Amino acid sequence: MLATILHRGPDDSGVWLGGQLGLGHRRLAILDLSPTGHQPMSTADGAGVLAYNGEIYTYRTLRRDLEKAGIRFVGTSDAEVLLQALHSWGPERTIPLLNGMFAFAYLDRRNNTLWLARDRLGIKHLYVADTGRELIFASEVKALLAHPGFVAKIDRAALRKRFLSRPRAQDTLFEGISGLEAGSWWKIDTGGRQKHRYFDVEGSLDMDRLIEAQRQIDPSDAVTAFREAFADSVKLHLASDAPLAAMCSGGVDSSLIAAFAHDDVRDLVGYVADAPVGAGEGDQAERAGKHIGIRMRRIKVSQEEYLRLWPHAVRHLDGPAYHQSEPALLAVAKACRADGIKVLLTGEGADELFGGYAWHAQTYQRWLRRDRLERFFPMLVSKRSRRRALDFPLSDLSEAGFHRQWQRALALDTSEELAPRRLFDRLAGIARRPERAFFVHGLSDMLTHLPWLLHRHDHLGMAASIEMRVPFLENRLIDFAMHLPVSAKYRAGQGKWLEKAVALERLPRDIVLAKKKGFPMPSSYTRGAERLLVGGLVAEQLEWTASTTGDVVAALSGLSDLRYTAVGMEIFLQQHLCQKSAEEVGERLVSLSAG
């Protein structure tokens, strides 16, 4: 199992065995590079044992509190602080205090209890499977597949769902394997398993505070508070005894992080994926880097390299990739590692928290138009239509959109698909429906879109032994953003207004106000790859006829996003059902693109 995740920790490896439990760990040494950071880590008396992946950014504060209570430390790692906190204060008290990204297994031998836990938003991952005789868990699915007691079987229903939506963070393509939910812990002892959600997006909303913010807070007054909270978060995320860099795509999120990080790390280097064709991010990133005063590393990604990396990305994601940037992200991570970098700051989370996606603005504008229509021409909007629109207050308010949303709710996880409706009802105190719908769309993206982004960043970063950190997703900043008035997020037709107000102090105006690119890669890179489906395993698993397969392949030649998903599925199945290597599949993709 440890051998399959060597990439997650090439610096050290350890195994602890005791009674009915075995813990294994691979270490990527970032804080305390000495042997005192070795894991699995035990307390001095051996009564507590920890295997942990992640970073606790407030570990120094926790350490001081523990030292005041008489706890002595051997090294300077955050892992030792986490172990001592769990052992001294207990997991139920400690876990909600943690500010960082983490997944861990902690054994309390005093009462023979095992605790499994993940951070609030699920930046780090933990998957579990029950063989009937054993409970096994790991940071990646591939480690579970290596366990001799687990029989891997593809879940065909899950395959079909992947064509309808991105998977939930805890979903996998294998029967019997699922992930711990973000913001949760499991307690396992002789009495069974107890599962607890200590943080969830919906439950964390203070409705009185939020509604008061809509009425009382002047967006301009929030600029100082955001600037301070953001600066503090970036500083926390710089904690490292290993070389650190920043992803700097030239967009406002990553560029702002780089600008603040450069205040403390004067030799900071920025990285960006640079495709030689199409409207890439390289030139804009170069201009941002020059303005900030950092050296930029433009990682050239040719079509051939992209196609060869694609199967590697699929293997490390433990499933088909969904956004055409995945191979390019892996290329950046590999370049960082080749340069000796171990930590990379990235800008994920800003769009969800501060309203930066185009569809957020579309939601606001469509609800604004609808409200005006109802106010001035009420006879044109039926009572039935009004009632239906409230069910899914996102951007598509048409009858067809309503029908599609219910189709998805019935086909997928109904609870998650109906979250917008629940949130819209809970936020009734926000009287203006355009503002309420805008806010709900952001929260919905935190439940659905953000987990996918975090999954790919953890898996593709660690594929190259790079820890990717997300300063926008620090506890204080999350709470701050979730309780802002919508006018601080969307103002004068501009999304992420508050963030951009601070960014204008540090970055060129044209970069701050530029249209979001979203890590683009040329769709031409995958053209021809759809032919991999002919006589392939997707058709076999989904029971397509030869005629259907031909129609699908023909259609995919003009549908780049769906082509990427479908071919990614084929790559995944060939790797797992036929044991084809990433190199072998990559060679085939290069051949197809040339033909």
Question: Does residue 54 contact residue 100 with C-beta atoms inside 8 Å?
Answer: yes
**Average pLDDT in the 399-418 region?**
61
Q: Residue written as tokens 């996606």?
A: 357
Outline where 115-194 has alpha helix (H): 141-145, 156-162
512 and 369 share a domain? yes
80's CB contacts (< 8 A; 6+ apart) are 32, 36, 37, 41, 73, 74
**Average pLDDT in the 361-365 region?**
92
Q: CA 356, CA 344: separation in Å to the nearest integer?
A: 22
Q: The CATH number of the domain where 174 resides is what? A: 3.60.20.10
Residue 279's CB is within 10 A of a number of other CB atoms, namely 10
Q: 51: helix, coil or strand?
A: strand
Outline where 464-556 has alpha helix (H): 475-482, 497-503, 509-512, 537-541, 546-556
pLDDT at 158: 87
Q: CA 570, CA 345: separation in Å to the nearest integer?
A: 32
pLDDT at 572: 96
Question: Does residue 11 contact residue 79 with C-beta atoms inside 8 Å?
Answer: no
What token pair was written down for 118? 């993940």
452 and 482 share a domain? yes
Give the tens place of pLDDT for each residue, 192-229.
Answer: 999 999 999 988 999 889 988 888 878 888 999 999 99
Residue 63, pLDDT > 80, answer yes
Give the tens place of pLDDT for each residue, 291-344.
Answer: 999 999 999 999 999 999 999 999 999 988 778 999 999 999 999 999 999 999
Q: CA 208, CA 225: separation in Å to the nearest integer?
A: 20
Q: The CATH number of the domain where 454 resides is what? A: 3.40.50.620
Residue 9, pLDDT > 80, answer yes
Outline where 156-293 has alpha helix (H): 156-162, 207-216, 222-236, 252-262, 282-292
Q: CA 312, CA 293: separation in Å to the nearest integer?
A: 34
Q: Which residues on neighbouring strands pair with residue 195, listed in sequence order?
A: 186
183 and 272 share a domain? no
Q: Residue written as tokens 């054994």?
A: 107
Residue 384, pLDDT > 70, answer no
Of 175, 197, 219, which residue sits at a domain end? 197
Q: Residue written as tokens 């031998």?
A: 109
What token pair was written down for 104? 């861990």
- pLDDT band for position 492 (cuts 50, 70, 90): confident
**Average pLDDT in the 573-584 region?**
96
Residue 411, pLDDT > 70, answer no
Closest among 62, 172, 52, 21 to 117, alpha carbons compared:
52
Residue 376, pLDDT > 90, answer no
Question: Does residue 491 contact residue 243 with C-beta atoms inside 8 Å?
Answer: no
514 and 550 share a domain? no
Mean residue pLDDT of the chain comes to 91
Question: Does residue 200 contact residue 416 with C-beta atoms inside 8 Å?
Answer: no
Of 522, 545, 575, which residue sits at a domain end? 522
**Average pLDDT in the 373-389 region?**
62
Give the tens place of pLDDT for each residue, 233-279.
Answer: 999 999 999 999 999 999 999 999 999 999 999 999 999 999 876 66
Backbone region of residue 73 per phi and psi (left: phi > 0; alpha: psi in -120 to 50; beta: other values) = beta
308 and 174 share a domain? no
490 and 551 share a domain? no
Residue 389, pLDDT > 50, answer no
Q: Residue written as tokens 């602080």?
A: 81
178 and 312 share a domain? no
193 and 219 share a domain? no
Q: CA 339, CA 333: separation in Å to the nearest integer?
A: 10
Respond yes or no on whether the N-terminal peptide bond of residue 40 is cis (omega within 30° of 0).
Answer: yes
Which amino acid does the sequence have at 374?
E
573's CB contacts (< 8 A; 6+ apart) are 154, 536, 537, 538, 541
Give the tens place of pLDDT for each residue, 33-53.
Answer: 999 999 999 999 999 999 999
> Which residues span the domain enclosing 138?
3-197
Closest among 50, 41, 80, 51 to 63, alpha carbons compared:
80
161 and 255 share a domain? no
Give the tens place of pLDDT for each residue, 556-568.
Answer: 999 999 999 999 9
- Output Rg (C-alpha) for the chain, integer angstroms: 24
Q: How many domains does the chain have?
A: 3
Give the tens place of pLDDT for each residue, 423-447.
Answer: 888 888 888 889 999 999 999 999 8
501 and 561 share a domain? no
124 and 273 share a domain? no
Of 168, 197, 226, which residue sits at a domain end? 197
Q: Residue written as tokens 């990133």?
A: 285
304 and 187 share a domain? no
pLDDT at 402: 56
**Average pLDDT in the 505-515 region?**
93
pLDDT at 383: 56
Residue 454, pLDDT > 90, answer yes
